[in-house]
Structure 1
Amino acid sequence: MKATGIVRRIDDLGRVVIPKEIRRTMRIREGEPLEIFVDRDGEVILKKYSPIGELGEFAQEYVESLAEVTGHIACVLDRDAIVAVAGAKKKVFIDKPISKKAEEILNSRETKVINQETEDIFCEGIYGEDYSSFTAQVLAPIIADGDAIGLVALASTKGGEEMGDLEVKLANTAAGFLAKQMES
């Protein structure tokens, strides 16, 4: 754990203010849920709550099926990071932060198809390896209980490939299915 050097007092209602710099760095927005953990040493730990994180194993199995059927890289992203990946090296993608572009697509709540070579549309910091650019991508928002909570992404690194209606339908189906799992 990393110390910040910032000290805050608890008010008479039991509240503590998380400093703006920390909220900005950690991408914590107003009204966003936080999980509270306590350990045996008396430490209180606040962690951003990821509803998609609750489906981690299930999401991983789903993207493995998608990658197998399509031959593309398949990922599930929550509002902050990639939580499941198949069709590529996991260590390159897992827990990487989502990009500003992915955040815009998530907030637009519309499926986006990108059929041109681009770098890092859905995540930041994927350089080197075989994934420095993608030739085609589909990003479908996961909307549960009226909230956009994540994305399903299909991506290709193979030259000349394009995402068509089939990939869009598969990504939207996956997003809809994961949303239903969150609601039940």
Structure 2
Amino acid sequence: MRRIDELGRFLIPKEIRNSLRIKHYSSLEILTDYEGEVIFKKFSPIKELGLLVEEYAQSLYNSLGHTVCIADKENIITVAGSNKKRLLNRQLNPEIERIMEERRIKLCATPLSLTADDVAISTSIIIAPIIVDCDVIGAVILMSKNPDAKMGRLELKMAETAAGFLGKQIAI
């Protein structure tokens, strides 16, 4: 941070915002430590739900048998199913972020990488954005690496329901 303007806004140089992936209207927490230093921390409302998100993902996985990921706008927060260690806390593929910003549920039946580093390429994926107060804050993602597994109306509705429920929990 370089300075505070006349309206009390913190000015963070564009290069720093880009390298830290701080986007326009990103939520930041402002903290202070015992020495009086000011600390900016990215805020993820989905992380605040903690155990509820993990249990919901596990419940979906138990019901559907497809890997379930719940992500904020940048990273995968929780995973239930296969590849948990490989997916957890990974940065999302920019294509997934773009789909989330479209604000509608999407079924992709073509191979698509879930992560920015191409760790998890799925053959079928459903992305249901989590929307709170007209803002996309994350997504519920169902994925399958099995080329024979077809996702349909049931999986779409389950992902949509999960995204709606988590959005309501955050809005409370």
- Normalising by structure 2, what TM-score? 0.90
Correspondences of 1:34-73 after superposition (within 5 Å)? 34-73=28-67
Give the 3-state SS of the residue equivalent to 2:122 in structure 1: coil
Give the 3-state SS of the residue equivalent to 1:105 in structure 2: helix
Pairwise CA distance, 1:47: 1.0
CA shift digits 1:114-161 (9 cap, x unpaired): 112x241x322243xxx4x21111000111122111110000111211
Pairwise CA distance, 1:92: 1.4
- RMSD across aligned positions (CA): 1.8
Q: In 1, are the aligned partners of 2:5 and 2:11 still within 8 Å (CA)? A: no
Gaps of 5+ in 1: 1-6
Q: After the TM superposition, which segments of 4 or more aligned residues of structure 1 sit over 6 Å from their partners?
A: none
Q: In 2, are the aligned partners of 1:115 and 1:135 still within 8 Å (CA)? A: yes
CA shift digits 1:51-79 (9 cap, x unpaired): 11111221111001111111111011111
CA shift digits 1:27-52 (9 cap, x unpaired): 21222221012222433211111111
Provide the C-alpha distance between the structure 1 equivalents of 2:35 and 2:82, rounded to a whole number of angstroms: 39
Provide the C-alpha distance between the structure 1 equivalents of 2:149 and 2:83, rounded to a whole number of angstroms: 20
1:141 corresponds to which of 129, 136, 143? 129
Provide the C-alpha distance between the structure 2 equivalents of 1:182 and 1:21, rounded to a whole number of angstroms: 31
Aligned to 2:165: 177
Q: In 2, are the aligned partners of 1:92 and 1:126 still within 8 Å (CA)? A: no
Name the % identity.
44
Provide the C-alpha distance between the structure 2 equivalents of 1:153 and 1:113, rounded to a whole number of angstroms: 10
Aligned to 2:116: 124
Aligned to 1:151: 139
- Normalising by structure 1, what TM-score? 0.85
Correspondences of 1:13-92 after superposition (within 5 Å)? 14-92=8-86
Gaps of 5+ in 2: none
Greater percentage in strand: 2
Aligned length: 172
Give the 3-state SS of the residue equivalent to 2:11 in structure 1: coil
